[in-house]
Amino acid sequence: MADRQITQQTILSHIAKLDDPDADLRYMSLNDLFTILSSPSSSFLSNDNRSSNKLAEGLLKALDDQHGDVQNQALKCLGPLAVRLPFESLVPLLEKLSNLTASQTIDTSVPNTAIRTIVDILPRPQAGQPAPQNAITAYQAVSKVLIPRLTGPTQSASGRRGSVVRGMLEKDPSKGFSSDAIDVLIKVVTCFGPLLSEAELLALQEPVMAIIHNDTAGTVVTKRALAAISALVLYFSDNQLNAFVRRLTETLSSPNISTVHHRHLIAAIGVIARSAPAKLGPHLNSLAPFVFAAVGEDNLVQAN
C-alpha cells in the first residue's frame, strides 16, 4: 500500500511539472512518467480513476506543447497508459483525441498519431483463437468512439443543439482529405478486424470508397485509401464482397467515368487481388475484362 502511495504521489508530482516553463523539465518529467507507466508499479491505475484521469489530461495537454521533443515523449507515454486505463477512462481519452483531429488550430497529425499509438498497444484478438475478454473490452471502446468518428459526423461534446463534429474521413474544405485519418482506420481494421461487425465494415467502406471515387483526392490520400480498402476486404462476408464487386463493375461500366476515376478503380482491384487473392478469385470473370482493357489487352488481341 505504501509503495502504491509513493508511486501515486510521484506521478502527480510529474504531472504538475508539465506546466513548468522549462521545456527540459517537462521532457524529463514525461520521460520519468514513461518509465513508471512501463513498470508493474503503475498497475494500480486500472483501479484508480482519479489518478489515471489526471495523467490522461496532462498527456493531452503535452500533445499541444510547442516543443517537438515534449510532444513526442507525451505520445510515447500514451501507449503504456492506455493498457492501464479502465474502460471508463479509455473511452473519454479516445473521444478527446478524436475530437482534436477536427481542430483548425493544432497540427492534427499529432492526435491521429496518438490514436494509432493507443490502438496499436491495446489487447487484440489473435487469428484462429477466441477473443479474450480484455481484447473484447478494448474493441468495445474502439467501436463506441472511433468507428462513429471515422464514418461520419457526430454530436459535439458541447451539447449545443445541431452542433456536430466532422467525421475524420470527411473532406475538410480547407485541408482536403486526411491521410492520417485513413491510417487510423487501417490500424483499427488491422488490430480489430475479426471483431468488426458487418455493419461496421460497411460503414467504414463507404468513406474510403468515396475518396477512391473522388477525382480531386491527392495521390498520397488515394494510395492510403487503396491500402484501407485492401485491409477491409479481408473481413468482408461473401454477401458483402458480392455487393462490393457488383458496385465496382457497375461504375466501371459507366460511359461517363473519368480517366482518373477509372484509374483509381483499376488500382483498387489490383490492391485487393494482392491482399485477398482467394476472396477475389470467384470474381475474376467479372473484373478481368476491365483490367485487360485498362492495360490494352483488347488492342493486343486485335493486333494479333
At residue 253, the pLDDT reads: 92
Nearest to 146 by CA among 82, 58, 61: 82
pLDDT of residue 127: 82
For residue range 60-74, list pLDDT tens digits in order.
999 989 899 999 999
- In this prediction, residues 266-274 reach a mean pLDDT of 93
CA distances (Å), origin 237, targets 50, 192, 243, 272, 279: 43, 16, 10, 14, 10
CB atoms within 10 A of CB 168: 30
Cα torsion 157, 161, 166, 170: sign: positive
Q: Of the given ranges (6-15, 130-139, 154-163, 240-249), which has the lowest mean pLDDT? A: 154-163
Structural domain includes residue 226: no
CA separation, residue 207 to residues 69, 96, 246, 257 (Å): 34, 22, 18, 19
109 and 195 together in one domain: yes
Who has greater pLDDT, 153 or 262? 262
In terms of domains, do 302 and 292 share one? yes
Q: Which of 262, 171, 270 is nearest to 221 (CA)?
A: 171
Average pLDDT of the segment spanning 202-209 = 96
- The answer to whether residues 130 and 195 touch, using CB atoms and an 8 Å cutoff, is no
Decide which of 64 and 224 is more confident. 224
DSSP string, 57-76: HHHHHHTT-SSHHHHHHHHH
Task: Say if residue 104 is in the same domain as residue 69.
Answer: no
With respect to residue 223, please indicate whether it lies within any of the assigned structural domains: no
pLDDT tens for residues 164-189? Answer: 767 899 998 888 899 999 999 999 99
Task: Look at residue 88 and tell me whether its pLDDT is greater than 60.
Answer: yes
Whether residue 148 contacts residue 220, with contact meaning beta carbons closer than 8 Å, is answered with no
Does position 284 have pLDDT exceeding 90, yes or no? Answer: no
Mean pLDDT of 220-245: 96
Q: How many domains does the chain have?
A: 3
The answer to whether 18 and 61 have CB atoms below 8 angstroms apart is: yes
Find cell 487503396 and name the residue: 226
Tell whether 92 and 200 lie within a shared domain. yes
Q: Is there a single domain that holds both residue 207 and residue 153?
A: yes
The model's pTM: 0.89
∠ CA 233-235-236, rounded to 5°: 65
CA-derived radius of gyration, the chain: 23
**Are 113 and 171 contained in the same domain?**
yes
Within this chain, do residues 188 and 279 fall inside the same structural domain, yes or no? no
Whether residue 192 sits in one domain with residue 258 = no
Please indicate, yes or no, whether residues 79 and 90 belong to a single structural domain of this protein.
no
How many other C-beta atoms can be found within 10 angstroms of the C-beta atom of residue 302? 8
**Assigned domain for 217 exists:** no
Task: End-to-end CA distance of the chain: give it in Å, rounded.
Answer: 84
Whether 73 maps to a domain, the answer reads yes
* Mean of pLDDT values over 87-93: 90
Average pLDDT of 219-228? 96
Domain check: are 152 and 41 in the same one? no
* Domain enclosing residue 272, as ranges: 236-304
Q: Residue 154: which H helix or E strand, with range?
A: strand 154-155
**269 or 158: which carries more pLDDT confidence?**
269
Q: Is 201 part of a structural domain of the chain?
A: yes
- Residues 189, 248: one domain? no
Helices (H), 122-258: 133-151, 179-192, 198-213, 219-233, 238-252
> Residue 198: which of 151, 228, 240, 231 has the closest Cα?
240
* Residue 222 located in a structural domain: no
Last residue of a domain, one of 85, 115, 140: 85
Is 70 exceeded by the pLDDT of residue 247?
A: yes
The whole-angstrom separation of Cα 74 and Cα 59 is: 6
Q: How far apart are CA 111 and CA 102, in angstroms?
A: 10
Specify whether 59 is located in the same domain as 172. no
Residue 182 lies in a domain: yes
Reported as half-sphere exposure (CB side, CA atoms, 13 A), residue 96 has a value of 15
- CA–CA gap between residue 273 and residue 251 (Å, rounded): 18
Residue 263 lies in a domain: yes
> 198 pLDDT band (50/70/90 cuts)?
very high
> Does residue 30 contact residue 62 with C-beta atoms inside 8 Å?
yes
